[in-house]
Amino acid sequence: LVDCYDNDIIEQVKSFDAMLWHWHHGDIKDVLFARQLLISVENMGIKVFPNINTCWHFDDKVGQKYLLEAIGAPIVPTYVFYDQQKAIDWTKNTTFPKVFKLRGGAASENVRIVRNPIHAKKLINQAFGKGFAVKNRLNFLRERLWHFKRDKSLKSLLNISKGIARLFIPTVAERFSQRQRNYIYFQNFIPGNDHDIRIITIGKRAFAIKRIVRKGDFRASGSGHIIYDPDQIPQECIRIAFEVSQKLQAQSLAYDFVFQ
């Protein structure tokens, strides 16, 4: 057992055959150096989990866009701009609705529907102006309220108080994270889906769930409405997930499938 935060971690692992580290994208310390440490240890000839092929694009939708396009994976058409005027010009020649996302975030965090060019331009101007907070505190409270309506439990009620507190007391990650700016990310909106399929591959194995879209929403991720029936999982999704994981030589990856 080692402490990956130790200054002499490289020296410590020299006698090891493997290093496993469950680092977290929400921990500001991990984000600072986890990828760099893992690739350094991997270059020492030591097996690591997750390896760099698995984690360099973790919680990075921009990186995932380029990677999936590069290998010809079936990805929803995605548009990333680093120039404000080019992004605005694009809104004049595309169709709506679109889906706006920040590069990071889980459980549908930082995901919005964009129904018209006016809304898109507002987001573009913000992206190339003051930018976006990594964590939207008001949305965090809305999520807690939604969970209470869904669960009607004491735990979900207590979580509302946490959401209110978060309006005034930022987390460590919020205080030290930079605002997201100088890029804008959109995807085509795929209508008619009342669920998505989540596939997670781990080596030669996989597990899958069917996630139901939230009522009055378009997002399935984070809904908490999950079906575990294997008969409701399309085999084609499993095949594609394994194929992409093998192309990327990744140890474990998660995929979300929607259908057109």
Largest CA distance in the chain: 59
* Rounded Cα distance, 116 and 242, in Å: 37
**Is residue 1, in this structure, part of any structural domain at all?**
no
Q: Let me know whether 67 and 184 are in one domain.
A: yes
Taking only Cα atoms into account, the Rg of the chain, rounded to an integer number of angstroms, comes to 20
> What range defines the domain where residue 143 resides?
137-169
Strands 111-114 and 98-101: antiparallel
Q: Is 105 helix (H, G, I), strand (E, B) or coil?
A: coil
- Whether residue 67 sits in one domain with residue 119: yes
Window from 96-100, 109-113, 237-241, 251-255 with minimum mean pLDDT? 109-113
In this structure, the answer to whether residues 65 and 182 fall within a common structural domain is: yes
Query: Which amino acid is it at 67?
Result: L
- Owner of token pair 């795929």: 190
**Residues contacting residue 37 through CB under 8 Å, at least 6 positions apart:** 4, 9, 21
Phi, psi of 112 (to 5 degrees): -135, 150
Grouping H, G, I as helix, E, B as strand and the rest as coil, residue 214 is coil
Decide if 257 contacts 244 (C-beta within 8 A): no
Q: 109 falls in which pLDDT band (50, 70, 90)?
A: confident
- Number of domains the chain is built from: 4
Other beta carbons within 10 angstroms of residue 229's beta carbon come to 9
* In a domain? residue 232: yes
Instruction: Please tell me the predicted confidence (pLDDT) of residue 179.
Output: 87
CB contact burial 72-103 (16+ within 10 A = b; e otherwise): ebeeeebebbeebeebbebbeeeebbbbbbbb
Residues 115 and 181 in one domain: yes
Q: Do 125 and 214 belong together in one domain?
A: no
pTM, entire model = 0.84
H runs (alpha helix) in the chain: 9-13, 28-42, 52-55, 61-70, 84-91, 117-127, 137-151, 154-168, 172-176, 235-248
Same domain, 120 and 182: yes
143 and 24: one domain? no
pLDDT (tens digit per residue) in 183-240: 999 999 999 999 999 999 999 999 999 999 987 777 877 767 899 999 999 999 999 9
Q: Tell me what the pLDDT averaged over the chain comes to.
A: 91
On whether both 183 and 86 belong to a single domain, the answer is: yes
- Using alpha carbons only, give the angle 241, 246, 250 rounded to the nearest 5 degrees: 90
CB atoms within 10 A of CB 22: 7
Claim to verify: residue 71 and residue 182 sit in the same structural domain: yes
The domain that holds 113 is classified in CATH as 3.30.1490.20
- pLDDT (0 to 100) of residue 170: 74
Euclidean distance between CA atoms 184 and 84, whole angstroms = 8
